[in-house]
Structures are given as C-alpha cells and as structure tokens.
Amino acid sequence: MGRTSGEASAIGGAWLRDFKRHSALARLLPVPGLALIAVPALAQTPDQPSTAPVVFPPVLVQGTGVPVEQTTAGPVQGFRALTAKSSTRTATPIEQLPQNINVITRSLIDSQLSITLSDAVRNASNVQPIDTRMIGNVEQVPVRIRGFGAELWTDGFAGNLFVAGDRDGLVNVERVEVLKGPSAVVYGGGAGAPVGGVLNVVSKMPTETAKYQVGTTFGSYWYANPYIDMNQPLNAEKTALFRLTAEYTGSSSFIDVLNSRRFNINPTFTLTNKTDTTLTVQGFASEAYQQAYPGLPVDGTVVGTYSVNRNLYFGNPNIMPSYSKMYGVTGTLDHRIDNVWSVNVKARWSKSEMQQNSQAAFLDASGTGGTPFIPPSTFDVNNIEVYDQQQEISINPTVQAKFSTENTKNTLLIGGDFSRVRDWGFMNVDTNGNICFLIGFGCNPSVANLQNPSFTTPYTFPIPGVGEGVSFFNFNNTYITKGFYGQLQSTLNERYHFLVGARLASIDITYNEFATGAMVTRETSATRLLPRAGVVVDLTKGLSVYGSYSQGMKWVPFSQTFAQPEPEFSTQYEAGVKLNINDALTGTVAIFQIERTNVPVRLTALSATLTQQTSRGFEADFLYQPNRNWSVLASYGYTRAFFADAAGPGIPAGNRLPFVPEHSGRFWLNYQFDESVAPGLSLGAGVYAASNQYVDAFNLWQTAGYYTVDAKIGYETDKIRAVLSAKNLTNNQYLLPYSWLGGQVAPGAPLSVYGQFAFKF
C-alpha cells in the first residue's frame, strides 16, 4: 500500500520537509501513488541512491528557476549536489554535515568537458590528483588532499592498492564526492580506515526510463574516446532494470614515444519490488596500456646550465607498453523493514594485475636520478620491472534506524566490514654495468647524455643473479582489515545538527619477503578505537557554523618503507561556516589541521623512513547559480604541509612536503542562453592556478607556480550533444613534480583542443 503524505514526511525527516517548503515538489506528494516513489528517492536507506531505480523529473526551485533533478546518486540542482552519502553512508543534506564536502556532479563534468577524472577533481579546493601519465602508480598515492596522500574509492569500496585499470574513465561516473581528512568511522577495507581523505566515485545506476547515448570525444594528439551509455528496463513492470556503460580511449602524446590505450565496461542489473527491496549487481572490467613514463630529471629542467627537451621520453623508444588491469563484481542489497528500520549489505570481489617496465636513472649522488651520473649531463640507464597481482573480497553490512522524539530527528547507523586482500609482487632491477663502472672495475656504463640524448640500451627484463640483476623486493602478503562501527546523527529543534560515532578498527598483515633468498616473515596487528564527532549550528536561515574531530588508521605498505612498520594514524580538527542564500549562493569556508604519524617518505630510490607530518590551512568552495543562465564555481585552498619532526639527515622539522602547492584554486563560469535567444547553446571559461611545489622532501628543488585557462562552447538538446573545448588556451609552459624516485618533474600539457559529439535517444 502507498504511504500517506504524512508518513512520507516522517520518514523523509527534516530535509524533506524543508525541500517541500522551497519546491514545487510539495504539490506532488499528496497524489496517490507518488508518495511511495518520493520516499526512497529523497530519503534513502544507506547506499540506496546507488540502487534506487526511481528518478524524478526536473522540479523548479522557487526563487532561482534552476531545476532540481533526482539522479541515482541524489538530488542535484545545476552544478550543486543537495545531499552527499560518502561522509556518513546516509543521504544527508550537505548543510548538515560538519565538514567541507565537495561534490563534482555529472552536470559539472559535462559542462567543462572534463577528459579525465584527474581533470574533473581539480574543481575541489586543496585537491591535487595523480598525473594521468602514471601507469602502475608504484607510490600508491592516487590523489593528495589537504597536503596528504588520500585514496580513490568506488561506490564506497577501497580501490586497488596501485589504482589499477582505467582509473581516469568517466563514462560510468555519476558524481565524485571528495572527503577531506580522516574518514574512519564508516569506512574500512583495502589499506584500512582512510587517514588523508577519499575521492569516492559514485557509479551510474539503472533507472526506470529507457534512454541511450552514443558518442565520441576526439582531439589533440589523435585522442579518440568512443563511448556508449544504455539504460533499459527488462520487463513491463520495470522491476528488472539494466544499464551498460563502456568506453575506449586511445591517444598519442606531446611526449615522445608515449601511446596509451584504455577501456572499461560496466554492466549493472537491478531487481526491485518497488516497495521495500532492491538488489543490484555491478560488473566492471578495465584495462590500460602505455609505455611507463619516468618523467624528466630536475637537472636540465628546474636547475642546471642546459635545457632538456620537454618532449623527451627517458628510455629506449622501443620499450614495450606497461599494463594495468582490474576486474570484479559488486552486489548491493537494500531492504526496508518498516518505517524505522532498514538494512543494507554490500559485497565486492575484485582481481587486479599490473606490470610496469621502465628505464630510469637513480645512481647519481642524490640517489633519486634527478642529477647526472657523470657531470654535466650524462645519466645512468637501468632496466626496472615492477609486477603486482591482487585479489580482494570485501563485505559491509549496515542497519539503519530513522526515528523522532518531541524535539529531535535521528538517524542511527550500525555496521561492520571485513576485507581480505592477497597481494603478490616483485621489483627487479638490472643496472646494466653501471654499478661495475661506479666502483671502478672499468666496465662500460649504460648511459645517455641529455644534451644530445640517444637511448641505445635495449630494455630487457631484469633477472636476479644474471648480470647486475637484483631483486629489490619479492613479496607474498595478506592484508586483513575489519571493523565495527556505530554512528548517530541528530537534529535538535531544527537548528542543531550533531554527528557522533566510533569505529573499532583492526588491521592484520602477514608479510612474506623472498628477495634475500630465504623467506622472511613479518606480522603487524593493531586494534584501535577511532572516534568522530561534529556539530552544525544554524545561526540563521542559510548561515551555519560547524566544528568536527576525526581519526583514521591504515597500514603502511612495504614497497614504500622497505620495512614493516606500525600502522599510520591521523587526527583532524576542522571548523567552518556553511552558506546557502536562497539556494543561489552556496558554499563552505573551512580551517583545518591534520596530524599524522608513521608516514613513509622515500629518501632515495633505495631508502625510506617514517615521519610525523602536519597539515594546516584554509579553504573556500562556492557555487553561485542565481538563475537558469549563470553558473559560477570558485574554489581556493591554502595548505601548509610540513614535517613535524626531523625525517633524517637533510630533512629538518619544518621542511615542506613535496607535491603540495601552498595556494591553489579553480574558477569556472558557464552561461546557458535562453530558449528564446539560442536554444541549447552555452559558453564557459575558467582558470586553474597553483603556486610553487617542492619536488623532494629535502626541499632542494621546486617548480614554479603556474596557471591554465580553459574555454568551451556547447550545444545540447534532448537528442544531440556537441561540445568544443580548449585546454590551456594560452599555451602556458610549466612543470609539475612527478612521482617517480624523488628527483623528477613532468611538463604540463600544451594547448589542446577537444570536441565531443553524441546522439541521445
């Protein structure tokens, strides 16, 4: 039986009532048959937005004229998401969350014609994504948030440790929710409870309306990205739904030699009785192929008396491509027991494989390959192979209760999770006679003079014990993370919003190392109670202040530390102001401090250490959408990230962390023409800027600040989408720190032009 409008309002809670006051949707709720649809769409059980098949038509918000659309990830008004689930696993209004949550919506991704996930997340303050030329990602840091390494998750599940497969594909992305700092209470799996932040990629899900989109994006350097997005109910009752997204990406590069190929395919099935139970099964498969890019040394780029060609590929041009693959399946079951209780169970199995073949330098005085092996400009050339294979199984059940008292509205979440990862891999190196030459035995070295580069040393797989082949590590590991958590969200007198929770987190690692010729086993086991608390106080309509405290814990992988340390811990303090003026000007201003211990830092190619680090700063994220025509995004971040203690010789306390600009920000302006003037036409332009960044922990080298200007013109109707975009419109030439061995940089992409054309039916 359908619910009355009063029952729907009770289940929906405070946000639904507020939404009704400000929206024409209120007139729909009393209509028989619609109240039942409204409840799961606006006040879902945990993770239900990822499985709910019902989608609202656009609804106008009074005062702005900007329609609210209900996506499978939650309601969206233009570029603005009204709710976010990643922080609490409940669909909570962003204004009631005691932290700065950035949501990169699909509408924003499409408006800017973002080419990669890394391109899209630059819209959020204090976020520095991984370089898209990195394949294999040996550093295991896919993104930096507020100065610290963070994690890339998909639909609430931890990513592969090396971020395998086609990590930059966008065809299956509904939105990206950016969590900043520790997010430990409701998240575990993979490496543990996040200590630096999370990019949670929320996937597209099936809906009841059949729709199809077929298109391609094309552009500079032979870029081609054909894609499909097909959504189809499988029966007349629309209780069985299917969606398939897939894309292929191929391109060359302004960097010599580099050619990349990527693809991903994502079939999703949903079964629902349309009242209280929904089961969704998501399959995913993705692969990426490209020659491993080791960047350019700092000598000849940011320092030195000569200049290295920015298009240079360091290594033999005939080197074989590296690859990265990931496959798996995710299942989600939602069941609403009654008006108070609901259950959600998510489980995933995945398998990944990565092989990275490269030629690199690291036998210089700095041990990073950033300076010459033989002055003034001759670098050693060594063959390196890194291989890793992982298999993971994770499960996360939760129980939720929504209930009210005379003055409060409450959501209680109780859950647990278990994750088991089997990880096998190795790193082999052949120094090709360079060690023999270095110690004075008269051998011919394998070198290249970067003033007149010629890489003649062929790439061959390094074999330990053959020539100068050695195994840096050869491991077979098991990582088990598990946790039990409780979380309570309460709103008191429609004005005070409290969030309290705690997680009992456990990490167990068995590490088996074979590189020494005999197996060495190390074990790490830790259990810790990780609290979280926060409050939002509504000072007046549209203006709130908040404060929060949170902790995180994760294991530290061997490949970063060359030892098996204790887990890494972090603590964050955050306070700020949230703004919502007539649903037109919305945003958050925040200050924060994060303290981390047991953080691994690579000193040279062959050594690392554990450190204590601190990050503190300020950030602001705003959206201004006064009407249907104008959309303005502005974000700014200031981060001072530094070593809180001495990290060994040459790294005193106070040294800045590498890869972190103190100042960075994004501005984007979009104008949509009226239907009476130029129907479907839109114009957009924006700028991204960042200050200087250190390349290394010793603070010896740094890149200069830079900016890029982007612009686009778009035309879109119900049937056709056509976009033309220019990236780095002013052709600004700049360098970025590059994660390799500690002394590398990479040139930013020059002016690039992209177009997209798609049919919708």
pLDDT in tens, 461-473: 999 999 999 998 8
**Identity of the highest mean pLDDT range in 9-23, 61-75, 104-118:** 104-118
Q: What is the pTM of this model?
A: 0.89
CB atoms < 10 A from the CB of 302, how many?
A: 19
Mean pLDDT of 326-354: 96
Phi, psi of 570 (to 5 degrees): -145, 155
Give domain status of residue 380, yes or no: yes
Q: State the Cα–Cα distance between residues 243 and 595, nearest whole angstrom.
A: 43
Give domain status of residue 379, yes or no: yes
What is the Cα 458 distance to its own chain's centre? 36
Give domain status of residue 235, yes or no: yes
- Domain of 230, CATH number, reads 2.40.170.20
Give domain status of residue 187, yes or no: no
Mean pLDDT of 331-340: 96
Residues 390-416 as b or e (16 or more Cβ within 10 Å = b): bebbbbbbbbbebeeeeeebbbbbebb
DSSP states along 253-269 = -SSSS--EEEEEEEEEE
Q: Which residue has the tokens 């130029």?
A: 678
Of 158, 159, 163, whose CA–CA distance to 193 is shortest?
Answer: 158
Domain span at 418? 202-760
Structure tokens at 174: 């509904």
Give domain status of residue 424, yes or no: yes
Q: State the Cα–Cα distance between residues 576 and 590, nearest whole angstrom.
A: 4
Are the C-beta atoms of 498 and 490 separated by less than 8 Å? yes
Give domain status of residue 185, yes or no: no
Q: Which residue has the tokens 């006679």?
A: 433
Mean pLDDT of 392-400: 95
Give domain status of residue 632, yes or no: yes
Q: Which residue has the tokens 């106008």?
A: 60
Give domain status of residue 422, yes or no: yes
- CA 728-734-740 angle, to 5 degrees, is 115
| Helix/strand/coil (H/E/C) assignment for every residue in 402-462 | EEECCCEEEEEEEEEEEEEEEEEEEEEEECCCHHHHHCCCCCCCCEEECCCCCCCCCCCCC
Instruction: Give residue 19's pLDDT.
Output: 35
Count of alpha carbons within 13 angstroms of residue 648, beta-carbon side? 12
Instruction: Give residue 387's pLDDT.
Output: 94
Mean pLDDT of 308-335: 96
Structure tokens at 293: 């890019």
| Measured torsion, CA atoms of residues 244, 250, 251, 256, in degrees rounded to the nearest 10 | 140
Q: Strand, coil or helix: what is 693?
A: strand
C-alpha dist (Å) from residue 692 to 660, 688, 705, 734, 737: 8, 14, 4, 11, 10
Q: Strand, coil or helix: what is 355?
A: strand
Instruction: Give residue 521's pLDDT.
Output: 86
Mean pLDDT of 184-213: 86
Of 432, 427, 416, whose CA–CA distance to 380 is shortest?
Answer: 432
C-alpha dist (Å) from residue 536 to 46, 193, 475: 21, 24, 47
State how many domains the chain has: 2
Give the model's confidence band at 760: pLDDT under 50 very low, under 70 low, under 90 confident, else very high.
very high
The amino acid at residue 571 is T
C-alpha dist (Å) from residue 78 to 108, 132, 529, 685, 732: 8, 28, 40, 17, 31
Give the model's confidence band at 596: pLDDT under 50 very low, under 70 low, under 90 confident, else very high.
very high
C-alpha dist (Å) from residue 297 to 266, 560, 608, 615: 39, 21, 20, 28
Give the model's confidence band at 304: pLDDT under 50 very low, under 70 low, under 90 confident, else very high.
very high
Average per-residue pLDDT in the chain? 88
Instruction: Give residue 63's pLDDT.
Output: 60
